[in-house]
A and B are shown apart, each in its own frame.
Chain A
Amino acid sequence: MNVATDNLRDPSTLFFQYDKIRRSIIASYWLIIFLALPLWWNTTSIERLPLPSPNVYAQQERELRFPIKIALDPAFGNIAPSVESELRNVVWQTRQGPALDISVGVGNEADSSDDTYVVLPGETDIVLDGRRMKIPKDHIEPSKLAQILSSLIFPYSPKQEHRVAQYSPRFRLAFTLLNEDASAGQTVVGWDILGAIDRHISPITSAVSILHNFTIESQVQFHAPLAFEPTALEDGTFGLTPEDLTIFVNSAEWTLSSSSSNDPVLHFVLFVPSISRRPLSILNNDGTPSTSNAFLIPQWGGIVLCNLPSASDEKWLSNMDLASPFSAFSHQLSTLLGIPKLPPGIKTSPQNSLLTSWQIDALLRHRMHETVRRTKDTLLSTVNLVQQIPNMPVDEKAQNDVQGALVALDAVWDSEGGKKFNLTDMLGNSARALTFSQRAFFHPGMLALLYFPAEHKYAVYTPLFASAVIPLVAAAIRELLAWRRQRRDANRRDG
């Protein structure tokens, strides 16, 4: 009997059913829930740090302007004003590319600063030497001089521009010697690539080394079939029609570059046709053979056909043999990099110098204009996208990169307005701005989270929380009611 009564104790005498303990247990549940709420909020919300959007919008309104100082020798003093107005006119008409502030003065070479273009009277030819230009004094009209100057200072046209590869601080140059079919005989087994690069490519790469970093790779391949049949001509030679050229690169079967880095690649292919298809030439639109054996694929690279005279079975291309293909390659490389060509009839001094300061300056101005424009665009799109897509996270790195790009852009504006005008510094800053802005835009953390419609959220949360919350809420209400009843009873007893 005693045992039974012992076992069936009144619940209110159990120690954990004492009012105080029971209520603190229930309260602790609620306490934990409230304490955990900030954690839940923190872990489920997306980190979106503010971006300096007003600064980005302010940058949009700024335009890069380049001061260009031209000093005419006193010998040209009488035509200087008309040259200046003509030149302004020409620049205003093109409206392409960077804005130029042109000032034409008359002065001696001695009292002009480094970055001034000097026009001196010369002899029979127009000769460029550094930033000096010697031009025959007789019969020079202001419009002619203005035209020459504008073609040197701003030599770009939209037509050329589509060939130029987009600016990148790093480029890889891949030189490939392709034997169409080595098994057919008269194979080219090797080439003096180092010598050829030294002689033809290095002068260009070193001249633009402040713009780009180059990595060069080369290879020889012995089997590179074409994906089409070249047209056989009546005289036993073979030709490539303009249509063939568009599909000449058999990218499915040729491996033209290693994929060791993510830098953009410029391809240069020396193609040796199979012995059964020699000589192979390029045909004009009307079917007549073209004098050229090289063609350029815009922004991709260049191809040169190499028709060897019948010779021994295995041939090694020497420096002599490579002279003509590599001069074509160097030509193509400068086109792809956007190095302007000199207008016809202008000579350089010393004779063998490849690039003059006029060309390099024009290239720098052009590239800088491009990088600044792209930076501004990228920053604007970053800010717009973050506003537009509410699920897009913005973390500290992305924020810092945007800040970095803005700082670098400001440095560009500073050096533009400052006394010490230095193209190289400006270029460095603008390139840095571009790198920062690109890194911010393509930051892996900026992936917008998946789109979840509202009912997905309810579907996730309801089964998870409803079952846990309902007993808790019910217990709290019951406890509250019990407490109120207790108080009422106590009051009644007291009263």
Chain B
Amino acid sequence: MANALGMYRTVKRLGIPDSNIILMLADDAACNSRNKFPASVYANAGRNLDLYGSNIEVDYRGYEVTVENFLRVLTGRLPESVPRSKRLLSDSNSNIFVYMTGHGGNEFLKFQDNEEVSAHDIADAFEQMWQGGRYNEIFFMIDTCQANTMYSKFYSPNILATGSSLEGENSYSYENDHDIGVSVIDSYTHHVLEYMEGVNKTSRLTMGDLFMSYNVPKIASHPGIRSDLFSRPLGGGENLHTYGRGNGWRHPGEWVGREQERGKTGTEVLITDFFGGVVGVDVEEENGKDATIVEDSPHSISREQNETGKKGVKAATYIVKDKTTSWVDMKEARAWASFLIVGLLLGLVWTRRS
């Protein structure tokens, strides 16, 4: 929960208004009577920073956080009665940042305790958003176990994705608060947030710089990037091309789209393209005939929409099975196995009769 709230605080600090942020919190931990520190959620065990604070707008909370609602918010297919604050009012000029966290596994993320959203669902939702002209670019960040599998199914253009851990790898929490008995924040998110503290509204740092800052020993998992759907270069200089091959990387870092990176042209993608409310501005001369354009940022982002999807407090690590057989084989095998069982039972009854 501190994960999502931390992201919320960061995007808000960088100038995105509440009306453009959709925050989904599955747990109302802050206002739960068992919370020892009522109405606050702290970012670290030292309780230096209250993330809940006095100025927070949770758009979907508790049982409203469902897979269906999440997909409806993304695709815009909401009933007419839903108020403005619960909608993602983006258009084809909007850059969207989607952050998700919770318990996940291979190609799924758990919502509440009874449903899960799969990588296919999110990929389809993004495709529908693209077709419906609901985004210009998406930055997708996910912090779960096996997070990198969640973005593997995307197929729509202009999506940049990053995740906290490889397939078959756990994401760990950063530290425990012994007074409340739960882990407060995850390592990967903690690391990203810490990096974001050095970013201000007019910063020129690029996404590549953020990716280069990933520190495997500190994060305790291997973050991945997917940029093959993204058309702009990531920045970060020459070093970025050696991403995931340096000190501390026990496995080579996963970067889908590494080969295409050198061929890309255009302006480098800045962190504030997704995290900040920077706008292109035209100054008009009074009574002038033509407006002189004093500042016209190359990416005229009219509105920055941020979507912070999130689920659940992550206290324990998720144990996963190592999957060796490929997906299709498993499916076939199980189908035949179930027929075989029915057949065997029938045969058994038959032989006993005769």
Residue positions of A touching B, CB distance < 8 A: 159, 162-163, 166, 227-228, 242-243, 245-252, 259-262, 282, 284-285, 290-300, 302, 324, 327-328, 331-332, 335, 341, 344, 374, 377-378, 381-382, 384-385, 388-389, 441-448, 450-451, 453-455, 458, 462, 466, 469-470, 473-474, 477-478, 481
Give the residues in chain A near B330, CB-CB below 8 Å: 455
How many Å lie between the Cα of A447 and that of B175 in the bound state?
39
Tally of contact residues, B, Cβ under 8 A: 75
Smallest CB-CB separation from B295: which chain A residue? A242
What would 4 more interface pairs be, CB under 8 Å, given A300-B303, A335-B291?
Answer: A227-B15, A246-B295, A262-B87, A450-B118
B85 CB to closest chain A CB, in angstroms? 6
A169 CB to closest chain B CB, in angstroms? 15
How many Å lie between the Cα of A328 and that of B288 in the bound state?
10
The answer to whether residues A227 and B201 also contact, given A245-B283, A246-B281, A247-B277 and a CB cut-off of 8 A, is yes
Query: Which residue of the partner chain, among B128, B278, B293, B346, contacts A474 with CB atoms under 8 Å?
Result: B346
B22 CB to closest chain A CB, in angstroms? 13
Contact A292 B283 (CB under 8 A): yes
Contact B75 A447 (CB under 8 A): yes
Closest A-B pairs by Cβ, 3 of them:
A251-B17, A381-B131, A299-B302
B255 CB to closest chain A CB, in angstroms? 26
Contact A454 B335 (CB under 8 A): yes
Contact B16 A251 (CB under 8 A): yes
| Interface flag for B38 (CB, 8 Å) | no
The answer to whether residues A296 and B132 also contact, given A389-B124, A470-B342 and a CB cut-off of 8 A, is no
Contact A478 B353 (CB under 8 A): yes
Contact A446 B77 (CB under 8 A): yes
Smallest CB-CB separation from B11: which chain A residue? A252
Query: Which residue of the partner chain, among B16, B281, B285, contacts A252 with CB atoms under 8 Å?
Result: B16
How many Å lie between the Cα of A483 and that of B341 in the bound state?
27
Contact B346 A251 (CB under 8 A): no
| Interface flag for B19 (CB, 8 Å) | yes
Query: Which residue of the partner chain, among B13, B71, B277, B283, contacts A249 with CB atoms under 8 Å?
Result: B277
Residue positions of B touching A, CB distance < 8 A: 12-13, 15-20, 67-68, 71-72, 75-79, 83-85, 87, 89, 91, 93, 115, 117-118, 120-121, 124-125, 127-128, 131-133, 201-202, 276-295, 297, 300, 302-303, 330-331, 334-335, 338, 341-342, 345-346, 349-350, 353-354
Contact A441 B338 (CB under 8 A): no
The answer to whether residues A466 and B277 also contact, given A251-B17, A259-B84, A447-B77 and a CB cut-off of 8 A, is no
Give the residues in chain B near A477, CB-CB below 8 Å: 346, 349-350, 353
Give the residues in chain B near A478, CB-CB below 8 Å: 349, 353
Contact B15 A247 (CB under 8 A): yes
Query: Which residue of the partner chain, among A242, A261, A470, contacts B281 with CB atoms under 8 Å?
Result: A242
B59 CB to closest chain A CB, in angstroms? 12
Contact B281 A458 (CB under 8 A): no
How many Å lie between the Cα of A426 and that of B76 in the bound state?
28
Give the residues in chain B near A377, CB-CB below 8 Å: 133
Give the residues in chain A near B67, CB-CB below 8 Å: 450
Query: Which residue of the partner chain, among A246, A249, A384, contacts B280 with CB atoms under 8 Å?
Result: A246
B318 CB to closest chain A CB, in angstroms? 19
Give the residues in chain B near A296, CB-CB below 8 Å: 281-284, 291
Query: Which residue of the partner chain, among A282, A291, A374, A442, contacts B76 with CB atoms under 8 Å?
Result: A442
Contact A451 B72 (CB under 8 A): no
Give the residues in chain B near A294, CB-CB below 8 Å: 283-284, 286
Query: Which residue of the partner chain, among B17, B120, B276, B294, contacts A285 with CB atoms under 8 Å?
Result: B294
Give the residues in chain A near B342, CB-CB below 8 Å: 466, 469-470
How many Å lie between the Cα of A451 and that of B280 in the bound state?
40
Query: Which residue of the partner chain, among B77, B131, B335, contacts A384 with CB atoms under 8 Å?
Result: B131
The answer to whether residues A442 and B118 also contact, given A252-B15, A299-B93, A447-B71 and a CB cut-off of 8 A, is no
Task: Write 25 A-B pairs (CB below 8 A) sorted by A numbering.
Answer: A159-B293, A227-B15, A242-B294, A251-B16, A252-B15, A252-B16, A252-B17, A282-B294, A290-B285, A295-B282, A296-B281, A297-B282, A298-B282, A385-B131, A442-B75, A444-B79, A450-B121, A451-B121, A454-B331, A455-B331, A458-B334, A466-B341, A474-B349, A481-B353, A481-B354
Give the residues in chain B near A284, CB-CB below 8 Å: 294
Contact A447 B284 (CB under 8 A): no
Smallest CB-CB separation from B354: which chain A residue? A481
The answer to whether residues A332 and B284 also contact, given A251-B277, A300-B302, A442-B77 and a CB cut-off of 8 A, is yes
Contact B349 A282 (CB under 8 A): no
Smallest CB-CB separation from B304: which chain A residue? A251
Smallest CB-CB separation from A285: which chain B residue? B294
Give the residues in chain A near B281, CB-CB below 8 Å: 242, 245-246, 248, 295-297
B219 CB to closest chain A CB, in angstroms? 29
Contact B346 A282 (CB under 8 A): no
Smallest CB-CB separation from A471: which chain B residue? B349
How many Å lie between the Cα of A245 and that of B201 in the bound state?
11
How many Å lie between the Cα of A246 and that of B13 in the bound state?
15
Give the residues in chain B near A299, CB-CB below 8 Å: 93, 302-303
Contact B118 A282 (CB under 8 A): no
B123 CB to closest chain A CB, in angstroms? 9
How many Å lie between the Cα of A162 and that of B291 in the bound state?
14
Contact B279 A295 (CB under 8 A): no
Give the residues in chain B near A324, CB-CB below 8 Å: 286
The answer to whether residues A247 and B202 also contact, given A252-B15, A453-B331 and a CB cut-off of 8 A, is yes
Contact A298 B302 (CB under 8 A): yes
Give the residues in chain B near A261, CB-CB below 8 Å: 84
Query: Which residue of the partner chain, among A260, A290, A442, A444, contacts B283 with CB atoms under 8 Å?
Result: A290
Give the residues in chain A near B334, CB-CB below 8 Å: 454-455, 458
How many Å lie between the Cα of A418 and that of B2 in the bound state?
63
A377 CB to closest chain B CB, in angstroms? 7
Smallest CB-CB separation from B120: which chain A residue? A451
The answer to whether residues A247 and B346 also contact, given A252-B18, A381-B132, A455-B331 and a CB cut-off of 8 A, is no
How many Å lie between the Cα of A471 and that of B102 in the bound state?
43
How many Å lie between the Cα of A299 and that of B300 in the bound state?
10
How many Å lie between the Cα of A481 and that of B350 in the bound state?
10
Give the residues in chain A near B335, CB-CB below 8 Å: 454-455, 458
Smallest CB-CB separation from B282: which chain A residue? A296
Most buried by A among B133, B284, B300: B284
Query: Which residue of the partner chain, among B78, B285, B293, contacts A444 with CB atoms under 8 Å?
Result: B78
Contact A451 B127 (CB under 8 A): no
Smallest CB-CB separation from B331: which chain A residue? A454
Contact A447 B72 (CB under 8 A): yes
How many Å lie between the Cα of A227 and that of B284 in the bound state?
23
Smallest CB-CB separation from A293: which chain B residue? B286
Contact A331 B284 (CB under 8 A): yes
Contact B84 A470 (CB under 8 A): no
Give the residues in chain A near B89, CB-CB below 8 Å: 262
B115 CB to closest chain A CB, in angstroms? 8
Contact B132 A441 (CB under 8 A): yes
Give the residues in chain B near A292, CB-CB below 8 Å: 283-286, 288, 292
Query: Which residue of the partner chain, among B20, B79, B115, B278, contacts A246 with CB atoms under 8 Å?
Result: B278
